[in-house]
Chains A and B, each alone.
Chain A
Amino acid sequence: MDAATIYGILATAKGFKEISRRKIKKVPSLRGRTILNVFYENSTRTRVSFELAAKRLSADGVNISASGSAVAKGESLLDMAQTLNAMQADAVIIRHSSSGAPHYLADRISARVINAGDGLHEHPSQALLDIMTIWEKFDELDGLNVAIVGDIAHSRVARSNLIAMKTLGMNVRVAGPATLIPRELAAVYGCEVCDSVSQAVEGADVVMALRLQKERMNSGLLPSLREYSVEYGINAKLLKTTGDNAILMHPGPVNRGVELSADIVDGQRSVILDQVENGVAVRCALLYLILGGSQP
């Protein structure tokens, strides 16, 4: 996706943000289309966001929640694809624990496929809403300083953001436990890997903290949550070293006291709730741009 496309999507999303603030939060643009949410991983936030987006466009959004061990291996994704074709869906929004699952589906079904997060690979709509939130606070994105902190290795949010930010010319610094930062990160995404969180955060305009999952402790990648929060958590003191109008972001849900100290989550710099609101707007824009054309 080039920069022009990103800005185009965000401009469209801005229009949709206004609709979500009206009393009647609905426009007829995708009236009668069928949009299926196929979520193989649990997710309230993203699923509801896409669901609302579909409904705001007057489409029929239906949820297919497919979790469970038999399905977890991904064997029945082929069956799912054939079922989706039979249902004549216009668009399928898929979240799956396997990187590449949306590509797999897109090769096999006639509906449009939107990736709501695949394994460790990408989460494009999240990156778009993150960029939108940043753009609301800073006019010029080129050259902006961003710090991304946390479990980069397991974060599709980080990967998608790294791709978008590189395209838009932002300077990204990354910090986190060495076991959670892929060795080739700098080479692949053109970001800077810092030795410490304080180094990454200093002078940043945007501080983005990633969610730490408890499984990482079980896999021997980290000793404990406590150690993580001490060495890598973002707190008020660190925020003081950032740029003048710096903002604090997090894809949610936040582990208070781990990635972010409780006081700053709701603090002045936090735009976490804006991210959520922008999520619906961005997803409206995506659905509209993908399905709203005059071609069937």
Chain B
Amino acid sequence: MKKTIYDATEIQQALNRMADSFPMSSTDAPWAVVGIRRGGEHLAARLATLLGQRVGAEIPVGYVDITLYRDDGFGPNDWPEVGVTEIPFPLKEHTIILVDDVLYTGRTVRAAIDAIIDYGRPKAIRLAVLVDRGLRELPFRADSAGFELKTTPNEHVDVLLSADGGEGDQVTVGPRGNGEEVQQ
């Protein structure tokens, strides 16, 4: 029932497009990339590498865990996994590119922004996502989206990404199973 709509090659192309939309010349620079755990982790690292190639310097990477910032708690049978937020660079000197695999309701982004602001005050925050599937519940807009999809609430979008862009990378769309979270 799940359909692969983008494969590894298309994903890499999208990543390159995303990297292009953050030019060094922009007044936003210097950039830093912060991936939202856990879907945005590999994405953040790979985007930072691509950006770094264009800019000729290493782009700092950080990760933010939003478990404790969610607005919906956790279910009665769930065991929340609280990950560690790492931001190993000074926030106020950088513009953060906040990275996630799928942008959906926008609640994850809201939580991530709150988490980052608790850490410090960045110059600005821009949002980069691999897939924007619409159906926003909060007023957020991606500054750069690899793909834009029209989806319905009873579909589930899955992104499989590896650390270095292997063959297995894919974006799939299928019907939503029971008990799947809707945060994104």
| Residues of A participating in the B interface, judged by any CB pair closer than 8 Å | 8, 11-12, 14-16, 18-19, 22-24, 26-29, 57, 285, 288-289, 292-295
Contacts and interface: CB of A to CB of B under 8 A. Distances in A.
Contacts of B180: none
A22 B118 contact: yes
7 contacts: A12-B80, A15-B82, A22-B119, A27-B68, A28-B69, A29-B69, A295-B76
Contacts of A294: 72-76
Interface of B is mostly: loop
Contact of B74 (A8, A26, A293): A293
Contacts of B76: 293-295
Chain B's interface size range is 20 to 34
Interface string B50-71: 0000000000000001011110
B123 to A, nearest CB: 18
Q: Which of B68, B69, B78, B84 has the most CB of A within 10 A?
A: B68
A137 B51 CA distance: 39
Nearest to A294: B73
A18 B67 CA distance: 13
Contact of A293 (B69, B73, B81, B114): B73
Nearest to B66: A27
A5 to B, nearest CB: 9
B85 interface: yes
A289 B73 contact: no
Nearest to B77: A293
Contact of B82 (A12, A23, A28, A295): A12
Contacts of A8: 79
Given A8-B79, A294-B73, 5 more contacts: A15-B68, A18-B84, A24-B118, A285-B82, A293-B78
Contact of B81 (A11, A16, A24): A11
Interface string B102-136: 00000000000011001110000000000000000
A24 B118 CA distance: 6
Interface of B: 65, 67-70, 72-76, 78-85, 114-115, 118-120
B114 A28 contact: yes
A28 B68 contact: yes
A288 B68 contact: yes
Nearest to A25: B118
A91 to B, nearest CB: 14
A15 B83 contact: yes
A277 to B, nearest CB: 15
Q: Which of A12, A16, A29, A288 has the most CB of B within 10 A?
A: A29
A15 B67 contact: yes
A8 to B, nearest CB: 5
Contacts of B85: 18
What are the nearest 3 A-B pairs in CB distance?
A15-B82, A294-B73, A27-B68
Contacts of A28: 68-69, 114
A35 to B, nearest CB: 16
B73 to A, nearest CB: 4
A15 B74 contact: no
Contacts of B65: 15
Contacts of B74: 292-294
A26 B68 CA distance: 10
B80 A292 contact: yes
Nearest to B78: A293
A27 B69 contact: yes
B68 to A, nearest CB: 4
Nearest to B115: A27
A292 B65 CA distance: 16
Contacts of A26: 118
Contacts of B120: 23
Q: Which of B70, B74, B76, B82 has the most CB of A within 10 A?
A: B82
Nearest to A29: B68
Nearest to A15: B82
A138 to B, nearest CB: 20
A11 B68 contact: no
Nearest to A24: B118
A77 to B, nearest CB: 30
Nearest to B86: A18
A24 B82 contact: no
A296 to B, nearest CB: 9
Given A27-B69, A294-B72, A289 B80 contact: yes
A15 B86 CA distance: 11
Given A24-B119, A26-B118, A28-B114, A15 B84 contact: yes
